[in-house]
Amino acid sequence: MKAIILPRISDVEEKPLQLVDLPKPEPGSKEMLVKVSACGVCHTELDEITGRTPPPEFPIILGHEIVGRVEKKGKGAGKFKIGDRVGIGWIHSTCGRCSFCRDGNENLCEKFLATGRDANGGYAEYTTVPEDFAYPIPEKFSDLEAAPLLCAGVVGYRALRLTNIKDGDTLGLFGFGASAHMIIQVAKYKYPNSKVYVFTREGQKEHQELARGLGADWVGATGEDPPQKLNCAIDFTPAWNPIVEAMKAMERNGRLVINAIRKEDRDKNSLLKLDYARDIWLEKEIKSVANVSRKDAVDFLPLAAEISIRPKVQEFKLEEANEALLLLLQGKINGAGVLKIG
């Protein structure tokens, strides 16, 4: 099969991914072999390539927003039929026994294995998945549309849930890429009386236009004052500055959820200038979102279909993975980048 491998940690600018020919993987017990048709391109790949969340072994096949069809089943696999369309996300497997797993917080399991980091992912013609960690995809979505739902959508949905938003609350979204452009649609649908304010990097005209088109009540640059204080906010960026600016704009008792697997190193001049009295006092909270649980995917995919979320997709060929990741790094993908495979 054709596959794109990451041979070592390197700079994204070096275009390190290599097209190779590998044997088709064999599904193990209770696993399935999936013929991949689409795989989304996610910021986490940038973190893996540069070593901020390094794969434990090389080479590795990246990619964790996978849509494909079941081609073969391993021993004991019985949940899906051959030919079924399934989605695979960041959660590849967990232990199933620890207190986190038992309490429904499997995303926090110490044995959490990630697709495309700890196990080979979807930048390839085939991949394998434990059947318990694959999801049916609602018919409404094409393969390309469904791919970004599986990470950008699902983790964004988890972040929105963790903000504790109620209808009528003001919501701030910092950064407006693949995840935020879907989550604004969920917020507008579930919380019709809430105002959504979108903050982007200065001059990101295309992202700002997209935000307005999707119903943002106000759009500005990070650091500008929104029309009202924020009751809750999600920071989708890899930068430090939005944390400070979000907390400055936060109403008392407000909560910021940081949806980023890693943050860039702090600026020497310290962009992290949180002021206790102004930014933290009066029961304001900062919380991160880590990974996803299966329930997030199981809840989000039908909701996305019900809302008719239309992910805006920029299509690339499998061979163009390096270019797609570079554009993502530069903030030049409008919506979500997806590799079309096969």
Residues lying near Zn ion in the complex (CB under 5 A) are found at 42, 44, 94-95, 98, 101, 109, 151
From CA 34, how far away is CA 71, in angstroms rounded? 5
Whether the Cβ atoms of residue 325 and residue 123 lie closer than 8 Å to each other = no
From CA 282, how far away is CA 276, in angstroms rounded? 10
In this complex, which beta carbon is closest to Zn ion, that of residue 70 or of residue 151?
Answer: 151
Going by DSSP bridges, is the β-strand pair 336-340/31-41 parallel, antiparallel, or unpaired? antiparallel
Whether the Cβ atoms of residue 252 and residue 283 lie closer than 8 Å to each other = yes
In this complex, which beta carbon is closest to Zn ion, that of residue 244 or of residue 339?
Answer: 339
- Beta strand extents in 22-165 (DSSP E only): 31-41, 66-73, 85-88, 91-93, 113-114, 126-130, 135-136
CB of 280 to Zn ion, least distance (A): 29
CB of 26 to Zn ion, least distance (A): 26
CB of 115 to Zn ion, least distance (A): 9
Could you tell me the end-to-end alpha-carbon distance of the chain, in angstroms, rounded to an integer? 10
In this complex, which beta carbon is closest to Zn ion, that of residue 17 or of residue 250?
Answer: 17
Whether the Cβ atoms of residue 172 and residue 226 lie closer than 8 Å to each other = yes
Given CA atoms 310, 338, 219, 252 in this order, what sign does their dihedral have? positive
CB of 141 to Zn ion, least distance (A): 17
Which of these, 162, 179, 61, lies nearest to 107 by C-alpha position? 162
CB of 64 to Zn ion, least distance (A): 6
Helical ranges in the chain per DSSP H: 43-50, 99-102, 143-148, 154-162, 178-190, 205-213, 241-248, 294-307, 321-329
Tokens of 72: 């073969």
CB of 291 to Zn ion, least distance (A): 10
In this complex, which beta carbon is closest to Zn ion, that of residue 44 or of residue 120?
Answer: 44
In this complex, which beta carbon is closest to Zn ion, that of residue 17 or of residue 244?
Answer: 17
In this complex, which beta carbon is closest to Zn ion, that of residue 22 or of residue 95?
Answer: 95
From CA 287, how far away is CA 258, in angstroms rounded? 6
In this complex, which beta carbon is closest to Zn ion, that of residue 25 or of residue 337?
Answer: 337
In this complex, which beta carbon is closest to Zn ion, that of residue 226 or of residue 335?
Answer: 335
Phi and psi, residue 40, nearest 5°: -75, 160
